Structure 1
């Protein structure tokens, strides 16, 4: 049995390797996963949710560069923790756009930037703002005065849009991962019990599946979200609790076909418990269709979350997700900054397409008739 299983897995892998679209889609999914994990390392704005605001720089075009000076706040710390790397740091500097500066014996003089072709009066800041926090004068000019490039421009709050888009990948990818995980945790046991025991148990579970199935997914998610409240984790749970029915139906159908197989009859004759037969004997043999439906659910979860965020029910500002980035910026399409809405839309399209294509590739790879 193990040799057959290993041979089947190797055959499936060979089929995937021979499919260029499968390799490309898998590469896109892996890239999205890596961006999700290391999003703050790839982001230019290291502040939590890429929320470093500088309103004077609002609506700047793609490729814009600006000289900046950062004045440390009371909570500033030079030490970067592991939490900061993965979750972002708190706002600990006052970021000021400038046109020029000069370091004097006891202060820094700078000319603030007020807009294209505009400059304010000279402002002086005492060096004590830095030195009292353990920052040397040499380090001030090296780390606290620099030129920033805004690859994708800025939004209406002067935030770096590239960083917002990168951090938004984390929300959209995690919603798929956690929603699929919840759907598997709920759907596999329900489908397995219904398909294995049949009879009254199957009737009750199928009635529940049909009831949930008959409610439009978006309306059900909205209802669950309103019951649990708006927020980061609530939307994950809400989407996951609406997707278990598809998993349960697939698992139930597979269990109905496998429960009469010879190896299951042999397991019963040997006195194995129902729990062992369900989870040790039958379940490993039906993982292929479960994996395929999970890939499709991953894409669906991303679309649902994006729609909810666009409606203002999903991830709440300032947390960036691709859906609320579109909501915040769709009006900019008519004022010459269409990329602020188009880029997150294209990102959704690419990732959802990658999961759908990879799901089809997995379906063909696991099809023993081909």
Structure 2
């Protein structure tokens, strides 16, 4: 069969012609790129973007402040810093004014309430003999916080960028776990039927009857709070739908003529299932996986909001909403709205991609 006439080629062409499919896929790829290169992109590349400056907390987008940057002691670098971030290489102090006195350089700390604080002596060897102009040139800088600062004075944009890694990774791992469990169980149940099918369906129905969020919370409490626990908990709740779909598709597909031909040629059951049936029934599984990806992101955000997800100082969009939801009724609602919009955009992108894949993988429309 010519490549141009293949079902795969027609499916790809139909997906490319879908505006919402291309848009959603572009958004997802952009978020994946941000997650992969988070510490390269983030203005604050320290580990977890956790540099706190309480004196500039809850500042609006576009906020600018002057900083004293002193070299930190015991600096260490590693080849993995681009992936994991690095320990803060400088000690940063927000200030309003500098003054040179005979015994050293003094600075006036920045005050978020606009009240002038008394000058404080800068306790650093670099400030003892250096002139004020040279000190300004070498050890001060001006920073602009594009999305402002959170209630701890951390760069909100950096926290958002690194938080994307949590949402993307939880989606990938949860969907992978659900596929590794759901596809084999569904295939075995549908192919063999009988008591094997009844036993697996009993497990599926019991698991299906338990509310997803309740099961996730129970698993998280049993295994303890933590980043890896969320992966396991979310993944173990999503395999049921995959297993049911694969089972149903397998029951129909095993009666097709190509399966009968494979049996006549003496192929064993494992080869028939893995190489002949599964490749032909994965279309609905792909669509469900896209929806499960979106559900995993929502569940992780909910767990983090409840304090059962990624633990501080790891940035998570859900925990960022938890930290700032009380600001919604104040004049700084953006602190909770920004991570909320990020969750909404990413989840909607996966849902739209799932709908586009459903249409593109429709055999009737690609025949």
- The TM-score normalised by the length of structure 2 is 0.92
Q: The residue matched to 1:153 in structure 2 has which SS?
A: coil
| Separation in 1, partners of 2:56, 2:102 | 30
2:195 corresponding residue in structure 1: 200
The superposition leaves residues 17-43 of structure 1 with CA deviations (integer Å, 9 ceiling, x where unpaired) of 111111111111001101110111111
Counterparts of residues 181-330 of structure 1 (less than 5 Å)? 181-330=176-325
- The TM-score normalised by the length of structure 1 is 0.91
Q: Find the partner of 1:88 among 85, 89, 102.
A: 85
| Separation in 2, partners of 1:293, 1:140 | 59
| Separation in 1, partners of 2:154, 2:37 | 20
Q: The residue matched to 2:276 in structure 1 has which SS?
A: helix
Q: The residue matched to 2:9 in structure 1 has which SS?
A: helix
Q: RMSD of the alignment, in Å?
A: 2.5
| Separation in 1, partners of 2:279, 2:260 | 16
How many residue pairs get aligned? The number is: 362
- TM superposition shift of 1:368: 1.4
Structure 2: runs of 5 or more not aligned: none
Moved more, 179-188 or 56-65: 56-65
| Separation in 2, partners of 1:143, 1:44 | 20
Q: The residue matched to 2:122 in structure 1 has which SS?
A: strand
1:99 corresponding residue in structure 2: 96
- TM superposition shift of 1:335: 2.1
**In structure 2, do the counterparts of structure 1 residues 222 and 126 end up closer, same or farther at CA, with 3 Å as the change threshold?**
closer
The superposition leaves residues 314-345 of structure 1 with CA deviations (integer Å, 9 ceiling, x where unpaired) of 11122111111111000011221000001111
The superposition leaves residues 275-314 of structure 1 with CA deviations (integer Å, 9 ceiling, x where unpaired) of 1111111111112111111001001111111111111111
1:112 corresponding residue in structure 2: 109
Checking the alignment, whether the CA contact within 8 Å between 1:106 and 1:127 is kept in structure 2 is: no
Structure 1: runs of 5 or more not aligned: 132-137
Aligned pair 1:346/2:345, yes or no?
no
**In structure 2, do the counterparts of structure 1 residues 75 and 130 end up closer, same or farther at CA, with 3 Å as the change threshold?**
farther
**In structure 2, do the counterparts of structure 1 residues 164 and 6 end up closer, same or farther at CA, with 3 Å as the change threshold?**
farther
1:24 corresponding residue in structure 2: 23
Q: Find the partner of 2:121 among 120, 123, 144.
A: 123
Checking the alignment, whether the CA contact within 8 Å between 1:59 and 1:158 is kept in structure 2 is: yes
Q: The residue matched to 1:82 in structure 2 has which SS?
A: coil
| Separation in 1, partners of 2:135, 2:236 | 51
